[in-house]
Amino acid sequence: MILALSGSGVSDGIALGQLHVLSRGELQLPEYHLESDEVETEVERLRAAIEAATAVLAETERQLDDETRDSTGELLQVHRLMLRDSSLTGAAEQVIRDARVNAEWALDRQAAELRRRFSRLDDAYIALRVEDLDQVVRLLQSRLADQPERVLDARVPHRLDDTVVLAADLSPAELAALHQRDVAGLITEHGSVWSHAAIVARALNIPMVMAVHRAQRLLREGEPVILDSHYGIVLATRDERLHGHYAEKQSAARQSRRNLERYLTVPACTRDGLRFHLFCNADLAPEIRRCRELGAGGVGLMRSEFVFTFDELNDEDAQYRIYREAVELLDGRPLTIRTLDAGADKLPDDLKRLSGPNPALGLRGIRMSLAMQESFRVQLRAMLRASCHGPVRILLPMISQVAEIRRARELIVQCREQLRGEGVRADPEIPIGGMIETPAAALMTAQFARELDFVSIGSNDLVQYLLAVDRQDELVSHLFEPASRAVIETLATIVTGAARAGRPVQICGELAGDPRFSGLLIGLGITQFSLPPGQLAAVKSTLVKLDAAACRETMQAFLNDPEAEAGAALLDQLGPSG
Ligand code: PEP
Ligand code: MG
């Protein structure tokens, strides 16, 4: 018998092993009122729990080997900072004092309040913060209840190389501790491909499938499972033939990865000698390190909303340290930092009403930065300060008007002058780029590009806005078709516009990392690609096999003939064997 479950595969790879369920255990969370003379003791109890939780994270980090620490150290740091976040534990202390309730209850109330504020905002960044929040609250509550954290729990088998671990969800600290024991694969019931756990799983190459609903009910401790994270599936079966089949697939996939990796060192030229440039989309240190190891030309997209917490929104030094570390890791290769592209959240009260009912069309990206200029200046100053340690480029998200570029430029100049007045050096010629991801920006590329030093196509949003298909909505995902004529003609318009303005164009949306689109992009004249590190070898191995002149001819013929078929047929025609 086979039980097949599906979820979201967050990293490529196959894992075979016995299932181990990492259960959370029910925490007893009492709720009671305090007498006035008990309040200070309760505050002390919360503070002691914060100290103990901080010690658990420090101990977890201490036990890690260098590779795992490199990949997760900063995320543990984020959790350590959250333990002292004024809006969480600071506010919980206030709840103990004001409402005279016990620490568990105060913490629960404050976490619910933060979740409620976040829930109004439909944004991947916020989802990530909610996940962090839940993990930190759980850690604190386990300390208050005096129960051990589950990963450090002796019930977890010591070696996990033939074990697939299943949990409701996993924090980066837990994932690090499991990797330390060579876990074969991971399954969680919740979580998103944007979560920190997912980022760490990708950086450490651990096969992982997330959001496998009801997995804890359907799968049993000790049963043999197969996990294919490329397709996001989990099979529970004792069928030996199937296990044999997947074991072969696993070794073939490992072999094919080794084969693809050979391409990493060959010159970046198509068959007919056209040079192309590969950069990585990388946010956290492990990905940036990987980008350098793979020989990428630098970071083409650092999504800054994923690298610092909201508490650091106005903390110039904290942001500077993050950017500076990334610049130094790249050792002379450029770091392209995109300014904040979070949705409308924690805005000051007078701005909240501006966020509007539809976050995708609301105060997002550059609009939000320009609406919160104090925070924007903090970010710009931190970027400018980092630019004296190595090449930094600034990228502006979601532009839809020339005025936005002009205003951002003015602020950059002001910040640089201000820094100069303080005796701080910054790159006087820091390149400023704009994301082309709204239909307005695409149509106006030439005009926008004249105000910029480079443009970068954000194909994820561009397709969403062009086709009016919400990129997060499963119900319309079949309509999200990047190989449609509307998208291709728009890409061609962007390339022509950038060329007319004499500015380079790169692409940093998912299309850049999908080898099926490499021929189409080269055929349109795009030669700069920024993609997830894990896709670099596959895209490069495709690009070097292509004939750029032939791809250009195919694309020209397609653009000239309104009846020509788009979609998969066109992509096949543009493939290495097409
Ligand atoms: C894009 O829209 O293609 C892009 C790269 O930005 P993000 O995915 O962060 O919106
Ligand atoms: Mg975008």
H/E/C letters for each residue in 190-220?
A: CCCCCCHHHHHHHHCCCCEEECCCCHHHHCC
Interval 403-417 mean pLDDT: 98
Is the pLDDT confidence value at 143 over 80?
yes
Cβ–Cβ < 8 Å for 367, 440 = no
What length is written for the chain? 578
User: Ligand 2 centroid to 176 CA: how many Å?
Assistant: 29
Q: Which atom of ligand 1 is nearest to the CA of 461?
A: 2
Residue from 7, 474, 4 nearest 212 by CA: 7
Both tokens of 454, joined, read 């480079």
Question: What is the rounded distance in angstroms from the CA atom of residue 573 to the CA atom of residue 456?
Answer: 26
Task: Decide: 11 and 206 in contact? Cβ < 8 Å.
Answer: yes
pLDDT at site 478? 82
pLDDT at 152: 44
pLDDT reported for residue 58? 83
Radius of gyration of the CA atoms of the chain, in A? 25
pLDDT at position 117 over 80: no
- Ligand 1 within 6 A of 547 CB? no
Q: Confirm whether pTM is higher than 0.75.
A: no
Q: Are 503 and 479 in contact (CB under 8 A)?
A: no
Task: Provide the pLDDT for residue 474.
Answer: 62
Q: Is the CB of 460 under 6 A from ligand 1?
A: yes
In contact, 268 and 275? CB cutoff 8 Å: yes
Ligand 2 geometric centre to CA of 161 (Å): 38
- Name the closest-CA residue to atom 9, ligand 1: 303
Q: Is the pLDDT of residue 345 over 50?
A: no
The Cα–Cα gap between 14 and 1 comes to 20
3-state SS class at 480: coil
Ligand 1: which residue has its CA nearest to atom 4?
458
Instruction: Provide the pLDDT confidence category of residue 522 given band limits of 50, 70 and 90.
Output: very high
What is the structure's pLDDT at 150?
A: 54
Residues 522 and 270: beta-carbon distance below 8 Å? yes
State if residue 342 touches ligand 1 by the CB under 6 angstroms criterion: no
Measured distance CA(542)–CA(533) in Å, rounded: 15
- Measured distance CA(487)–CA(475) in Å, rounded: 20
Nearest CA to ligand 1 atom 1: 458
pLDDT at 344: 43
Catalytically annotated residues? 196, 508
459 lines ligand 1 (CB under 6 A): yes
Residue 368 Cα to ligand 2 midpoint, Å, equals: 14
Is the model more confident about 142 or about 44?
Answer: 44
Instruction: List the helix and strand counts (H, then E) for the chain.
Output: 23, 16
Q: What is the pLDDT of residue 112?
A: 87
Neighbouring-strand partners of residue 396: 434
Residue 310 scores a pLDDT above 80: no
- Helix (H) or strand (E) holding 384, with range, is helix 373-386
The reported pLDDT for the residue numbered 348 is: 47
As a whole number, the mean pLDDT across the chain is: 88
CA 532 – ligand 1 centroid, Å: 12
CA distance 25 to 22: 9
**pLDDT category of residue 153 using cuts at 50, 70 and 90:** very low
Q: 3-12, 238-247, 260-269: which range is least confident on average?
A: 3-12
Query: What's the confidence (pLDDT) of residue 25?
Result: 61
490 versus 75: the higher-pLDDT residue is: 490
Query: Is 36 in a helix, a strand, or coil?
Result: helix
Ligand nearest to the CA of residue 513, numbered in listed order? 1
For ligand 1, mutation pick of 339, 460, 464, 507 (most atoms within 8 Å of CB): 460
CA–centroid distance, residue 553 to ligand 2 (Å): 30
Whose Cα sits closest to atom 10 in ligand 1? 461
What pLDDT shows up at residue 128?
65
Is the C-beta atom of 305 inside 6 A of ligand 1? no
State the distance from the centre of ligand 2 to the C-alpha of 341, rounded, in angstroms: 8
Q: Answer whether residue 89 shows pLDDT above 80.
A: yes
Confidence tier at 26 by pLDDT (50, 70, 90): low
Tokens 């979580």 belong to 191
pLDDT band at 554 (very low <50, low <70, confident <90, very high): very high
For 360-373, the pLDDT digits (tens) are: 888 889 999 998 89
Atom of ligand 1 nearest to the CA of 459: 3
Q: What is the pLDDT of residue 534?
A: 83
Atom of ligand 1 at shortest range from CA of 457: 3
- Looking from the CA of residue 437, the nearest atom of ligand 1 is 2
Cβ atoms of 305 and 342 closer than 8 Å: yes
In sequence order, the 6+-apart residues with CB closer than 8 A to the CB of 542 are 515, 518, 519, 575, 576
Taking alpha carbons only, the member of 195, 478, 477, 471 closest to residue 360 is 471
Whole-number pLDDT of residue 59: 78
**Is any ligand 1 atom within 6 A of the Cβ of residue 461?**
yes
- Residue range 212-224: mean pLDDT, rounded: 92
CA distances from 227 to 25, 171, 208, 475 (A): 25, 20, 8, 26
Q: Is 508 in the pocket of ligand 1 (CB under 6 A)?
A: yes
**Residue 456 CA, ligand 1 centroid: distance in Å:** 10
Q: Is 303 in the pocket of ligand 1 (CB under 6 A)?
A: yes
Q: Which ligand lies nearest to the CA atom of residue 472 in the structure?
A: 1
Most confident of 284-288, 306-310, 321-325: 321-325
**In the predicted model, is pLDDT for residue 497 greater than 80?**
yes
Query: Could you tell me if the CB of 509 is within 6 A of ligand 1?
Result: yes
- Candidate ranges 26-30, 116-120, 188-192, 491-495; pick with highest mean pLDDT: 491-495
Report the amino acid identity of residue 364: R
Continuous segment of H or E residues that includes residue 572: helix 567-573
Q: Give distance in angstroms: CA of 407 to centre of ligand 1.
A: 22
Could you tell me if the CB of 507 is within 6 A of ligand 1? no
Distance CA(22)–CA(503), nearest Å, equals 53
Tokens (6 digits) for 106: 């105060």
Atom 6 of ligand 1: nearest residue by CA position:
458
Among the residue ranges 122-131, 305-314, 390-399, 471-480, the one predicted with the least confidence is 122-131
For residue 456, the ligand 1 atom closest to its alpha carbon is 5
C-alpha pair distances (Å), 133 with each of 173, 272, 397, 577: 14, 52, 26, 49
Checking if the pLDDT of 81 tops 90, the result is: no
Compare 288 and 268 and report the one with higher pLDDT. 268
Q: pLDDT band at 314, cuts 50/70/90?
A: confident
Range of weakest confidence among 302-311, 400-409, 542-551: 302-311
Q: Average pLDDT of 16-38?
A: 81
Give the span between the Cα atoms of 218 and 228, in whole angstroms.
Answer: 18
pLDDT at 291 over 80: yes
pLDDT for 151 equals 53
Q: Do strands 233-237 and 14-22 pair parallel, antiparallel, or not at all (unpaired)?
A: unpaired
How far, in Å, CA of 210 to CA of 296, rounded?
Answer: 28
pLDDT of residue 364: 87
Protein residue with its CA nearest to atom 8 in ligand 1: 460
pLDDT at position 408, please? 98
CA distance 3 to 204: 28
